[in-house]
Chains A and B, each alone.
Chain A
Amino acid sequence: DTEVTQTPKHLVMGMTNKKSLKCEQHMGHRAMYWYKQKAKKPPELMFVYSYEKLSINESVPSRFSPECPNSSLLNLHLHALQPEDSALYLCASSQAGTENSNQPQHFGDGTRLSIL
C-alpha cells in the first residue's frame, strides 16, 4: 500500500474531453510533484508545488493545468490532450524546504492515461 493515493487508476479519454487526475497524501508533506512516465523510461518531472505554490513548471504544454487546493491535495486538469500524452502519470510528495532536501519522495501508484 502506498501513502500517496491517486485516482482514477485508469482513464481513457478522447482528445476533446476535459478530465482531472487527483492525488492525496496525509503525511504532512508540503512539496508535491507531478511526473509523466512512458513505458520502460524514468519519470519525467512536470510540476512542483512547494507550500501550495507552483515552484517549478518544466515547460509543460498548457493543456496540462495543475492545481494545489490545500496541503494534502494535488490535481492535474487535462484538456484537449494528444495521443502522445498517453502515459502513466505519477504524483509524489516529500518534505519541503532545503533543510529537508535529504528526505526522499514518496510516490503514488499512478494514473494510466490513454488518449484516443
Chain B
Amino acid sequence: GEDVEQSLFLSVREGDSSVINCTYTDSSSTYLYWYKQEPGAGLQLLTYIFSNMDMKQDQRLTVLLNKKDKHLSLRIADTQTGDSAIYFCAERSPGGSYIPTFGRGTSLIVHP
C-alpha cells in the first residue's frame, strides 16, 4: 500500500529558509500536495505538483520533486513566525480511489 513519510519536527530561526521533506513509496503517485494546518484550524492547501514537473515556485514557496528517489520537498524562503504550523505532505495515485494518503505531518517551529 501507499506510505508517506515525513520528519516530525523542524526548528528554524526567523528569516532563514525552511526545508520540509517527504518521501513516498507508490511509484504510480502522480499528484503531490502540501497542506498547512495552524492550531485550531483545518488544512489549508498551499501548493501541489504533478509528477510531470520537477519544480514549482509560488512566491516564498518552492516545491522540488525527485521522482527517481520518490522525494518531495517544500522550501519556505524568509521564514516568518506566522509560518509556524504543521505541514502535511499528501499523495494521490491516478485512477481507482481518488483519496489522498497523508504523511504524519511536520511541526515547523519558527523562533526569533
Contacts and interface: CB of A to CB of B under 8 A. Distances in A.
Interface stretch (A68-76, A79-87, A100-108): A100-108
A90 B92 contact: no
A12 interface: no
B41 A31 contact: no
Contacts of B105: 40-42
B35 to A, nearest CB: 8
Contacts of B86: 40
Most chain B CB within 10 A, of A45, A90, A94, A105, is at A105
- Chain B, interface size: which category? 20 to 34
Given A42-B103, A45-B99, A101 B31 contact: yes
B99 A102 contact: no
Nearest to A44: B102
Interface residues of A, number: 27
Given A42-B88, A42-B104, A102 B41 contact: no
A33 B99 CA distance: 10
Interface of A: 2, 4, 6, 31, 33, 40-43, 45, 48, 56, 90, 92, 94, 98, 100-102, 104-110, 112
Contacts of B31: 101-102, 104
Most chain B CB within 10 A, of A48, A101, A110, is at A101
Contacts of A107: 35, 42-45
